Amino acid sequence: MTSSTLNPQHQYSVYLVALILVFYANCALAENLHQQAEQIAKAGDISGMGETYLKILNATPSDIKAQLGYATALSWQGHHQVAQDQFEAVLELKPDNQEALIGLGYDFAWSGEFIAADTQFHKVLATAPDNISAQKGLAFSSLWNQQPEKALKIFQALEKQLPDDAEIFAAQGQALLALNNEEAAATAFRRALIITPGRPDAINGLATINQKKKTFDFVAWAGDTSDGGDSGLREVIIGYWIKDDLRVWTRYDNSLSLDNPALVRSGEKAETYYLGVLGHINKSWQANLEIGNRDLPNDADQQIYKVEGININAQQHVFKLGAQLSPHSEDYTDKLVYSAYGFPVSNKLRLEPSLYLSSSGAIDDKEWRAALFGEYAIPDSWSVGLSAGFGRISSDIASAEGSVFTSNVLFSYPISQKNRINFSVRYEDSPSISYSTMLIGIAIQLP
């Protein structure tokens, strides 16, 4: 039976069902295309995003969501006049559409028409004063219009509403940098990176600051070693950043003199002097190289050669792998290899398990040691670190063989924007020696 044999009422019913099916098919297709456009946008393919929204508009010219998506893609691609026409076409139909007003405001700001941009954002805020997108738009428009003080006030107010928004802190950093407040800008950029590790505008902001200032850094530790040890100056480091990815330093280490009871009782020293360099191999890897010489009693000495590679990914996961060779003038060589893997548990807490393997001494002691370090840090404020490790020594001398245990508490507090005071309490127990140290240190950056 064909449709021509149906009576008119039945024909009308068939056509109505067909129209409904076509309508729902078009709706389903449009919805799929909307989802596809959103995925393409997240992947960074703005051209593909625009083409997908245009497909929707070719099928359904009245689709407001597609009109806004297409206008946004055009705006991001720099086709400002066409994008503005698209946004205004939506506003002709819906004069109070907030997405269209905000999109038009951003496009005016990107094309340098800041008064027109502010007008659109104020239209939204007049009816919706808590609209975050409009507040951000007004702040960015002010920042790009060389009004960093105005922008900073808005971003600081937004920070109270959105304390975990990395974009706000990165924008604060840009405003502070424009105001030549580099210390506060660096703080804002670092806070953005804590929330969103690897954020490009924050990384670039810190790189700009580092390139403008080549700083010296100075670290010193002093304290007391118990159980037969001694008190005094333990370590001094003086470093210089030649550029943001290249640092050189010299280091003095007197810890062996203070920890070894035999040296303390005889009044002899075992001081070590180092030269080191840090350089970036590529965006992810950096290398530390250090060469040292240890002066030992009885005209003996020991050279120290250390290399360490560090990989840091966008999620702030840090992998370390290092090795050290220390040939002795008595014809034996101490050896050490180690690895560690640090990762964030939250915005404030990091953990770093590590493993050390060493061989030392003329009697060929061998040791393995595993440790776990955890640090709780308030951004640009105090931090506290706890570590505990255990291991075992195998030795040719029975009295030197057995288990090893070590623990450490480290507290750090800022005394100014660039300077910190540090406290450390460490305990080590091994078959041949046990001791604890209580130290105070200072870390300074100049200028």
The pLDDT value given to residue 24? 41
Enumerate the β-bridge partners of residue 360.
365
Half-sphere CA count of 20, side-chain side, radius 13 A? 6
How confident is the model over 205-248, as pLDDT tens digits?
Answer: 887 877 666 578 999 999 999 988 899 999 999 999 887 678 99
Output 36-43 pairs: Cβ under 8 A, ≥24 positions apart.
37/69, 41/73
The pLDDT value given to residue 56? 74
In terms of pTM, does the model score above 0.85? no
Decide if 60 contacts 69 (C-beta within 8 A): no
The mean of the pLDDT values for the chain is: 84
How confident is the model over 137-160, as pLDDT tens digits?
Answer: 999 999 999 899 999 999 999 988
Lowest-confidence region among 61-65, 106-110, 121-125, 235-239? 61-65
Q: What letters, b where the CB count within 10 A reaches 16 and e where it falls short, cover 181-212? A: bbebbbbbbbbbbbbbbebeebbebbebbbee
Q: What average pLDDT does range 195-201 have in this prediction?
A: 86
> What is the signed CA dihedral for 414, 417, 419, 422, rounded to 10 degrees?
10
Kindly give the residue spans of alpha helices, DSSP state H, lying in 196-252: 200-212
φ, ψ of residue 194 to 5 degrees: the values are -65, -40
The pLDDT value given to residue 40? 61
Structure tokens belonging to residue 54? 């245009």
- Structural domains of the chain, ranges and CATH numbers in brackets: 1-95 (1.25.40.10), 216-446 (2.40.160.60)
In the block, residue with structure tokens 């974009």: 167
